[in-house]
Amino acid sequence: MVELVVLASGSRGNCTLVRAGRTAVLIDAGLSAKQIVERLAAVGQDPRGLAAILLTHEHIDHTRGVAVLARRFTVPVIANAATWQAAEVQLRDIPAGEFFVTGTRFTVGALEVTPFSIPHDAAEPVGFVIESEGMRVGYATDLGHVTRLVAARLAGCHALVFEANHDLEMLMSGPYPWATKQRVASRTGHLSNEHAAEFLPQVVGEETGHLVLAHLSETNNDPVLARATVETALAETGRTHVSLTTARQDRPAAAVRL
């Protein structure tokens, strides 16, 4: 069985657990190490049993707990060279890191991991496709727009974690300073509900059983609205078989099991 639990998602911290057989990895560790350990305990995962922390990019909401977890529980951190360099301050004192090359598949225990480029205002941000036991999980948040590469990588996944960051109208009429609004809505910022809804019917296929909407803004989005926007778009294209959930900032989302 392949299991996926979004332990936290949103602008205050992102962390997702993926496990298959005896292998467990985290995608990002953007909460404090203490909070991550608590959330791992809630889903029965010993942090000492983590095979790796895979990093999507260096932003603090993805890296806050990485150094402490890596040191305290001797967990290898795996990232591309540009992210390592950009995250140097957060990752200080970690014994020599492990690298992947974006676009090149690598293996962590029972998991085959393919990192792919996403458009976001970080050094070399990536999404991941993780395969095990014939099941494929796609993960992409923090992307300003959807590229052909993103669409190609996410097609055919059995479970998807995908960004629905903001409702465009809530963002524009909300409290963020103008420059921040521009940054979030830009082509290297974050995806809106509307963009997610436009894109997802292209990649949600017969085999896609689960879709988790992630990185929802607590200020500029509403989980009910995000879900309804995407659900309507999927229903319009006949894709009503997908189990759709929204990831939470304050607690782990329901586990997805494949």
**Count of residues interacting with Zn ion (CB under 5 A):** 3
List Cβ neighbours of 256 (8 Å cut-off, separation of 6 or more). Answer: 3, 4, 5, 159, 210, 212, 243, 245
Task: Tell me how far, at minimum, the Cβ of 60 lies from Zn ion, in Å.
Answer: 9
190 binds Zn ion (CB under 5 A): no
Residues 124-163 that bind Zn ion (CB under 5 A): 142
* Smaller CB separation from Zn ion, 35 or 228: 35
H helices of 95-185, in order, are 148-154, 168-173, 178-185
Q: Counting Cβ atoms within 10 Å, is residue 69 exposed (0-12), middle (13-18) or buried (19+)? A: buried
Q: Which stretch, 1-9, 60-68, 145-153, 232-240, contacts Zn ion (CB under 5 A)?
A: 60-68
Task: Tell me how far, at minimum, the Cβ of 162 lies from Zn ion, in Å.
Answer: 13
The DSSP secondary-structure symbol of 48 reads G
Decide the pairing of beta strands 15-20 and 159-163: unpaired
Among 23, 26, 36, 61, binds Zn ion (CB under 5 A): 61
List Cβ neighbours of 182 (8 Å cut-off, separation of 6 or more). Answer: none
* Smaller CB separation from Zn ion, 150 or 242: 150
Task: Tell me how far, at minimum, the Cβ of 121 lies from Zn ion, in Å.
Answer: 7
Q: What is the largest CA-CA distance in the chain?
A: 51
* Smaller CB separation from Zn ion, 142 or 167: 142
Among 59, 158, 181, 239, binds Zn ion (CB under 5 A): 59
The DSSP secondary-structure symbol of 46 reads -
Task: Tell me how far, at minimum, the Cβ of 221 lies from Zn ion, in Å.
Answer: 13
* Smaller CB separation from Zn ion, 27 or 160: 27
Token digits of residue 75: 């967990």
Length of the chain: 258
Token digits of residue 161: 């974690």
Residues 81-100 that bind Zn ion (CB under 5 A): none
* Smaller CB separation from Zn ion, 61 or 167: 61
Q: Which residues bind Zn ion (CB under 5 A)?
A: 59, 61, 142
